[in-house]
């Protein structure tokens, strides 16, 4: 029997957090797409853009875009650091991460929101592997992420299909716990935040679209980030008592 959550009546505002670092070619378009998405009736949208020390002209573009909450890091702290800043400023009942490139499609927001609004789940991840014919350009990155997912599932008893996904939707009460997580780079998003959400909430995954870009098009992730995530998963497993880190069977 599916456990129900009292979210349908209490969920009034969605905060969309966009961490940004040197994305002058895509930042204006992705914000336009986020603004253009129609949310269910009665649900307000808050867009928070955290400029994480960009030096390519992204700052100047963001200053001209209305109807967003614009936050600036003078120095680059990493994706995790930018997310923490955005989470802290958010006033929504739920938070959603959106990358500043065009790999993820905001039209998938409705699919992400549906399980929460229907009371079927407390948190939702968007999975790139659940939609057919979704083969990326950056295969080393993509399939490396699947390997990390398998390791994470093995060590923490979860059943995820896409650990490294950008789209993570979760309630604002997680923010207080997030601030204490140590990493400020990609490890924060992939490993630490995922572990916190997966092991402490009823989670479902929904299929999403994915349009991968190459390093020549501005993709910043490489094998080194995957290696850091691999060791972060191992360290996290070793640093917690067994009863504290094995996820609930429902996840």
Token pair, residue 193, equals 């935040």
Helix (H, G, I), strand (E, B) or coil at 16: strand
Quick check: 134 pLDDT over 60? no
The whole-number average pLDDT for the span 223-244 is 73
pLDDT beyond 80 at 42: yes
| pLDDT of residue 70 exceeding 90 | yes
Which pLDDT belongs to residue 220? 53
Residues whose CB falls within 8 Å of the CB of residue 67, separated by 6 or more in sequence, listed in order:
35, 47
CA distance 70 to 91: 14
Percent of the chain with pLDDT over 70: 82
pLDDT of residue 145: 82
In the predicted structure, residue 242 carries a pLDDT above the cut 50: no
The pLDDT of 151-170, averaged and rounded, is 95
From the CB of residue 25, how many other CB atoms can be counted at a distance below 10 Å? 16
| Predicted local distance difference test score (pLDDT) of residue 227 | 72
156 SS3 class: helix
Confidence band, pLDDT 50/70/90 cuts, at residue 146: confident
| Average pLDDT of the residues in 231-237 | 89
In order of their start, the domains of the chain are 13-240 (3.90.550.10)
Least confident of 1-5, 10-14, 127-131: 1-5
Q: Per-residue pLDDT tens for 75-130?
A: 999 999 999 999 999 999 999 999 999 999 999 999 999 999 999 999 999 999 89
Q: Which residues contact 249 (CB under 8 A, 6 or more apart)?
A: 157
Check residue 96 and give left, alpha or beta (phi > 0: left; psi -120 to 50: alpha): beta
- Whether residue 158 is predicted with pLDDT greater than 90 in this model: the reply is yes
Segment 157-171 shows an average pLDDT of: 95
Contacts of 185 (CB under 8 A, 6+ apart): 78, 79, 80, 81, 225, 228
Whether residue 248 has pLDDT greater than 90: no
Query: Rounded to two decimals, what is the model's pTM?
Result: 0.88
**Structure confidence at residue 82 (pLDDT):** 97
- Average pLDDT of the residues of the chain: 87
pLDDT surpasses 70 at 3: no
């Amino acid at each position: 029997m599916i456990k129900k959550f009292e979210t349908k009546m209490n969920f009034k505002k969605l905060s969309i957090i966009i961490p940004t670092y040197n994305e002058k070619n895509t930042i204006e378009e992705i914000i336009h797409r986020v603004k253009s998405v129609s949310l269910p009736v009665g649900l307000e949208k808050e867009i928070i853009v955290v400029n994480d020390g960009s030096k390519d002209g992204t700052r100047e573009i963001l200053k001209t875009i209305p109807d967003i909450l614009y936050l600036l890091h003078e120095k680059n702290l990493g994706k995790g650091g930018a997310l923490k800043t955005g989470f802290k400023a958010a006033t929504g009942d739920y938070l959603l991460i959106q990358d500043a490139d065009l790999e993820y499609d905001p039209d998938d927001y409705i699919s992400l929101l549906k399980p929460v609004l229907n009371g079927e789940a407390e948190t939702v991840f968007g999975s790139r592997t659940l939609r057919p014919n979704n083969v990326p350009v950056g295969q080393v990155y993509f399939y490396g992420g699947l390997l990390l997912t398998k390791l994470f599932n093995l060590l923490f008893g979860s059943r995820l299909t896409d650990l490294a996904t950008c789209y993570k939707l979760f309630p604002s009460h997680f923010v207080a716990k997030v601030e204490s997580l140590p990493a400020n780079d990609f490890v924060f998003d992939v490993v630490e935040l995922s572990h916190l959400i997966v092991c402490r909430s009823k989670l479902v995954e929904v299929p999403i679209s994915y349009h991968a870009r190459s390093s020549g098009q501005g993709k910043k992730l490489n094998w080194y980030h995957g290696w850091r995530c691999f060791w972060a998963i191992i360290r996290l497993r070793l640093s917690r008592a067994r009863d504290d880190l094995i996820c609930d069977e429902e996840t």
